[in-house]
Structure 1
Amino acid sequence: MAEAALISGDERYPILISVLSPIPNLKNTVLCRGLVIYFQSKGESGGGQCDVTATENPQLYRAVFINKEDKENVLKRKEHTFHFKGSELRLSVQEDGRQEINSSSSQKSEENMEAKAYSKMGYEPLGEREIFPKAIAFLDPAFSELLKKKNFPSVEVRESPKGELEITGSFSAIQQVHDYMKEQIMGHKDTNSLPYNAENQPPAQGEDTACMSPALYQYFRAIFPDVVDKIKGQYKVEMRDHCTTPENTVIHFFSTSPDSSIEKAKQCFIEAIQRITTDWSQITVELEKNMSASDIERRVRENCSKTQTILDGDKITLRGPKRELSEAKRLLDSPAPQRFVQISSHNMIRDLRLDGSHWDLLKELKYNQIKEIEDKYNVMITEKRNNGDKHVQITFTTTNGPPDLSPHACQIFLTLLHKTFSNIIQREIKMKPGFQETKLSSLQTEMRNNHIEIVTNWHNGSLTLIGSLGNIHTAEKILHKWQNGGATGAEGGEDEAMDTSDSPSTEIRKKQEEDKCPVCLCEPHPKLVLKKCKHVICAGCWEQAMKHKPVCPVCNVIYGVVIGNQPEGRMSHSAANFKLPGHNCGTITLNYNFPNGVQGENHPNPGKPYSGTYRTAYLPDSKEGREVLQLLEKAFKQKLVFTIGESRTTGAENTVTWNDIHHKTNTVGGPQEFGYPDPDYLKRIREELKAKGIE
């Protein structure tokens, strides 16, 4: 900012400025500031460091340069064009003539004496007599670092008893501080430079950019999405943002219609931000280990609607009005109240019909996993057999009332069933003569103690092992020890597909297993052969599976397009010129914005409200990073990046959450802080996208 005290006595090189096309009802003090910007810009006017003051003639102004060369460069152009507040001003410049500004030497001497008097008091005269020679203003301590970037010798800054910054000085001096802070927060191109510096001047009135801290902008987009939409719709503009540095976000305003108004949109945006910053702050709170992310967001959102939560490991950053932050901290410090939720299980199965021999084998092989399902989902798994029927009815029943998680337990059980029987084999091992059948009990105990999931059958000197290939190999090593390190005696011990039927032919048994439906484990009816992988399945089972996920239940080959249950939201990205650790290129900033809404039929609790979210993530702006960006955009269109989340400990949390596609939400800190450097990250996220059919 231009300061009159910097231009003194013999160093002055004055000129007169005539405004040939004035703006009606414009205060001369406002125009003075605009003229300072223009005549300090070497690119615009050819000038340099100067001060501009008004005269008694409302169309005549006086500029005083420090350097004679700057003055001469300005005078080389008799007329200048200056764009200000959406208007084009024509200016005429000439040498300073005392008779033209009606100024006598005595009058100038009086003004100099007045300036010196104010200088001794510590205040800066700005070309007019001070009406309020002493004023006090208070500044939020969150902006203290920004204030330190410029020295204001005419004001005194100290910390008040309430923790605020107390600024004392003349009204004009405090106005300079206010203008500086406003330009730095809202509209300056370079937060490290002076707002009136000629080389890095702030955006002129009507320019299509605004500037602020990423934290404040993220908060605004997350908590006030309706204001953003209103600005876009009312003034017919589009807003795009990008980070020029990790501490600086620039917002560009683009016209979307011939009758759009970028200047009004920007002004409305700045006023909205200013209303927020009058009572805005952020704090960091340590979290209890047993608190889930969705539970934290729910508790804060229900009681502090204008507070944003950002989780980072075992800490949470709260942003919002000061009056809400203390309440949010109190909520997080207090124990969470017990609550009961209802989870919709409409049209979800609770019972299964299985081959009895498969069920018996599964119980023996996977006893621990079945017990874990019962404990985790608070269900009881019961079986019912009918005489003469080789099948068994398996039923899942809740044991302690709401929430009823029995359908979810049934789905997890099905996954266990399919995974077990798709990997199981049997191997017959002929034991050495002298091996006693009585040793089998001890042998089986040792296998259980070593967590080896194996079923053993003894018949005529041969031991049949049933289980996965890895478990069978481990079991063979134990058998070696039991046979005193001798040969395994595994004559004819070729691997064959497991079968519990009594068919005499191995080939027939294999064929029967391959022809069973992997969903219901019965003979397929009507039979359907999948085109890509050639697996067999019931047409009805396939139709139901496609509703859940269009993939083969055996090998996960994708059929069709996978569409998720991501709620309505927006994804945008922008480029920044700072580097991420481990990458020698720029940065791509991803922004996801989801407003609050009501859950649909494909969500956990149809008809119930859910809380939205705003998320920011980062990718390297490299060839591979841009490829991942394209994959993420495709995944977002297929509604796969986010979902409506549930907590497995407390039930449905009704909030927008990540959907197993991991993003880097920090620029630094490494994998443990969800940041960079992380050499394998791009490879991992490609694999996660591929698992959802995005490649």
Structure 2
Amino acid sequence: IFLTVSATLNTSMFTEEQRQKITIICPNLKREVNPSIDGCEKLTGDFTDIEKAYHYFKDILASNDTNHNFSHSGSDKVFEDENGLDSEEMNELTVLSSLYEYFNHTCKGQIRVIQERFGVRIRSTDLYDGNTSVYFTSDKSPASVQGARDFFIRTFQKRVEDLKQEIIPVKNSSTLNETIIKLNARFSNLLAKEEGNHLLLRGPVSEILAAKIFLAEEGENSRTEENMKISCELYGHRNGVEVDASVFKLLETTLSKEIEDIKGKFDTVIEKKDSSCGQVFIIFKPRTKTSDMSSHATETFINALQNAFAMLREKVIIGKLSEDQRKRLNTLLNGKVLEDLHVKLQKKEDKLILSGLPKHLSAAEKHIVNLLNTEGSTQTRSRTSLSSDLSYQEATGASEKKYNSRQYNTLSSEGQSKAKAEEDDKDACPICMERIKEKEILTKCKHAFCKSCIKQAMTYKQACPVCNTIYGIVEGNQPEGTMSYRTLTASLPDYSGCGTIEITYTMQGGIQTSNHPNPGKPYGSTCRIAYLPDNKEGREILQLLQRAFNQKLIFTVGQSRTTGIGDVITWNDIHHKTSMFGGP
């Protein structure tokens, strides 16, 4: 943005005092030792500064005048020493207006310190040629003015050393002023201002990048507020989630706490509607009109329902019943005692099948056995045909993990409730829940399926549908983009002994393909930053993340879990730390 020019100065021809004075005359000029040429210095600055330096040293050689007057150009200001006629003009500096604007905005505290420490007054005047004159005046000795000016120059040069700027187009100009106020309040080393109905950011590269990420997040949140109502109106379950009424009754004690948490988190109320076909609709509605998070509440409820449903178990109670016991059994089946026990009892031939959550089955079984006064044997079974209480409790934990996905086909109570009634039952395919045809056994995990079922499942994902063991190379549907990283000296919390790896993902926008939820629809670009500790473990994770990125597994296109907006690039369940201090 700021074009620089360099020149080589023969130091043997000028005194140190003469060489130092050029940095006072041109505060933006940088002096460096030239390592490639002995006895020389390298001067770096913009063209105007280099031109001033050239004339300054040229006139010294011509007249040996160390107090050079820069009147060779009408646009240049005159700099005089303490012997000059006008003390205010004598202590004038000329700097680029863009640099001084940034310095004056971000260094108000330092400017105030200079004025108080040296007892001077600092004021500026815009020359309307891209430059600004800075004046130092004081009622004290000239030495205090000289000290203030030297201190100002050192502070100024250090502050603007790595300054960059970037102009960002703004879609909504009506909120530009509000955006500028937010940025200037949030980033102390950044100057944000309006530039021709666009947003100009000036500051170090790191501050500009952080501001752009902040703007992206703010824009996404703004779009969320605007599209929240539309998103919820288009949501597929806006009329509620349909659940078998008897099943919901079994799960109600477990779901009650989840429902209360959902209502509080998403500011919603719940409504239950019974249908004539034995179903119940669970509907979440916004508590207020200002924000509608009902779709998020419904999605969270579906997850909770899936997890609770996977915990349902069955027990088979076998025994020959007398006539009196049959009458008592019919009374029990028609009464509400079992509803209060949160279990369901079904009679199939000479078997009694008891369904419910593990914590309710034991108490209900004792109640039924005592009521019937039978000493028949009991057999415990679950949907995975395990024969002992211990094994089906272990299966409960595995099942919770397995069913902690968002696939709606796990809601099918008919498929899940089929289990082996007897020990000699044939194997059932975990996919179609029917007797296995042309058995196919996976080589690693040994799970068995119908040949046609597992073949179709593998076309969606090269992994076992039961235990998720990977088969072959998994490739996702991640959009095109780049992954880069750099190391920072700053440390993450609890990792004070090492630096930080900063990962930057730059993802391109495009059109959804057949592998995405809505083929043909566009999705926008995005930029994400993540952090790892720069130690052995962090570098190993970085390699794994690079491998996952190459296999297109880091991102996908779908509905954002945090904002609810659809058709956007989202994280794909590989968790990242996206904030150095606090946050996830």
Report the TM-score, using the length of structure 2 for normalisation.
Answer: 0.53
Specify the alignment match of 1:324 in structure 2: none
Specify the alignment match of 1:622 in structure 2: 535
1:496-515 deviations in Å (ceiling 9; x for gaps): 45689999x93212xx1xx2
CA shift for structure 1 position 653? 2.3
Preserved CA contact (<8 Å) 1:562 1:638:
yes
Match of 2:20 among 41, 51, 63: 51
Preserved CA contact (<8 Å) 1:222 1:613:
no
Preserved CA contact (<8 Å) 1:550 1:559:
yes
Report the secondary structure of 1:507's partner residue.
Answer: coil
Distance (Å, rounded) in 1 between the aligned partners of 2:572 and 2:60 = 77
Report the secondary structure of 2:567's partner residue.
Answer: strand
Specify the alignment match of 2:266 in structure 1: none
Specify the alignment match of 2:500 in structure 1: 587
Specify the alignment match of 2:475 in structure 1: 563
Q: Taking structure 1 as reference, are residues 366 and 171 closer, same or farther at Cα in structure 2, changes over 3 Å only?
A: closer
CA shift for structure 1 position 623? 2.1
Q: Taking structure 1 as reference, are residues 534 and 465 closer, same or farther at Cα in structure 2, changes over 3 Å only?
A: same
Preserved CA contact (<8 Å) 2:224 2:563:
no
The one-letter code of the counterpart of 2:467 is C
CA shift for structure 1 position 529? 1.6
Percent identity, please: 26
Preserved CA contact (<8 Å) 2:490 2:499:
yes
Distance (Å, rounded) in 2 between the aligned partners of 1:568 and 1:474 = 51
The one-letter code of the counterpart of 1:444 is L
Specify the alignment match of 1:442 in structure 2: 336
1:265-313 deviations in Å (ceiling 9; x for gaps): xxxxxxxx9989984269xxxxxxxxxxxxxxxxxxxxxxxx967489x
CA shift for structure 1 position 610? 0.8
Distance (Å, rounded) in 2 between the aligned partners of 1:85 and 1:527 = 77
CA shift for structure 1 position 528? 1.3
Summarize the alignment of residues 327-338 of structure 1 with structure 2, pairs less than 5 Å apart.
338=230
Report the secondary structure of 2:63's partner residue.
Answer: coil
Specify the alignment match of 2:125 in structure 1: 168
Summarize the alignment of residues 208-607 of structure 1 with structure 2, pairs less than 5 Å apart.
279-280=199-200, 310=214, 317=218, 338=230, 365=247, 420=310, 424-428=313-317, 436-437=328-329, 438-440=331-333, 441-448=335-342, 454-457=344-347, 463-467=352-356, 471-480=357-366, 492-496=377-381, 506-509=422-425, 512=426, 515-584=427-496, 585-607=498-520
Q: Taking structure 1 as reference, are residues 506 and 281 closer, same or farther at Cα in structure 2, changes over 3 Å only?
A: same
Decide which structure has greater helix share: 2
Distance (Å, rounded) in 1 between the aligned partners of 2:571 and 2:419 = 49
Match of 2:87 among 109, 119, 137: 119
Q: Does 1:653 align with 2:566?
A: yes
CA shift for structure 1 position 527? 2.5
CA shift for structure 1 position 566? 0.8
The one-letter code of the counterpart of 1:51 is Q
Specify the alignment match of 1:183 in structure 2: none
Distance (Å, rounded) in 2 between the aligned partners of 1:479 and 1:658 = 46
The one-letter code of the counterpart of 1:428 is I
CA shift for structure 1 position 136? 8.3
Distance (Å, rounded) in 1 between the aligned partners of 2:17 and 2:68 = 27
Report the secondary structure of 1:508's partner residue.
Answer: coil
Preserved CA contact (<8 Å) 1:137 1:168:
no
Specify the alignment match of 1:80 in structure 2: 40
Q: Taking structure 1 as reference, are residues 647 and 577 closer, same or farther at Cα in structure 2, changes over 3 Å only?
A: closer
CA shift for structure 1 position 571? 0.8
Distance (Å, rounded) in 2 between the aligned partners of 1:547 and 1:49 = 78
Distance (Å, rounded) in 1 between the aligned partners of 2:59 and 2:466 = 95
Report the secondary structure of 1:547's partner residue.
Answer: helix
Distance (Å, rounded) in 2 between the aligned partners of 1:463 and 1:136 = 89
The one-letter code of the counterpart of 2:439 is K
Preserved CA contact (<8 Å) 1:155 1:174:
no
Unaligned runs of 5+ in 2: 27-32, 51-56, 70-77, 135-152, 172-186, 203-210, 237-242, 253-258, 260-269, 278-294, 386-416
The one-letter code of the counterpart of 1:506 is E
1:589-614 deviations in Å (ceiling 9; x for gaps): 11010122111221112222110101
Q: Taking structure 1 as reference, are residues 211 and 540 closer, same or farther at Cα in structure 2, changes over 3 Å only?
A: farther
Distance (Å, rounded) in 1 between the aligned partners of 2:318 and 2:83 = 107
CA shift for structure 1 position 587? 0.9
How many residue pairs match? The answer is 425
Specify the alignment match of 2:53 in structure 1: none
Report the secondary structure of 1:506's partner residue.
Answer: coil
Distance (Å, rounded) in 2 between the aligned partners of 1:656 and 1:106 = 63
User: RMSD of the TM alignment (CA)?
Assistant: 6.5
Report the TM-score, using the length of structure 1 for normalisation.
Answer: 0.46
Unaligned runs of 5+ in 1: 1-28, 40-44, 55-61, 64-72, 90-95, 127-131, 158-166, 178-191, 203-209, 224-245, 250-272, 283-306, 320-327, 345-359, 384-404, 675-695
1:463-516 deviations in Å (ceiling 9; x for gaps): 54245xxx23432135557889x999886434345689999x93212xx1xx22
CA shift for structure 1 position 572? 0.8
Distance (Å, rounded) in 2 between the aligned partners of 1:310 and 1:99 = 52
Q: Does 1:145 align with 2:102?
A: no
CA shift for structure 1 position 338? 3.8
1:398-455 deviations in Å (ceiling 9; x for gaps): xxxxxxx9xxx9xx99x9699859x74434277999984324533321133xxx5x44
- Higher relative contact order, chain-length normalized (CA < 8 Å, sep 6+): 1
Q: Taking structure 1 as reference, are residues 579 and 664 closer, same or farther at Cα in structure 2, changes over 3 Å only?
A: same
Distance (Å, rounded) in 1 between the aligned partners of 2:486 and 2:563 = 38
The one-letter code of the counterpart of 1:79 is G
The one-letter code of the counterpart of 1:519 is I
Q: Taking structure 1 as reference, are residues 447 and 85 closer, same or farther at Cα in structure 2, changes over 3 Å only?
A: same
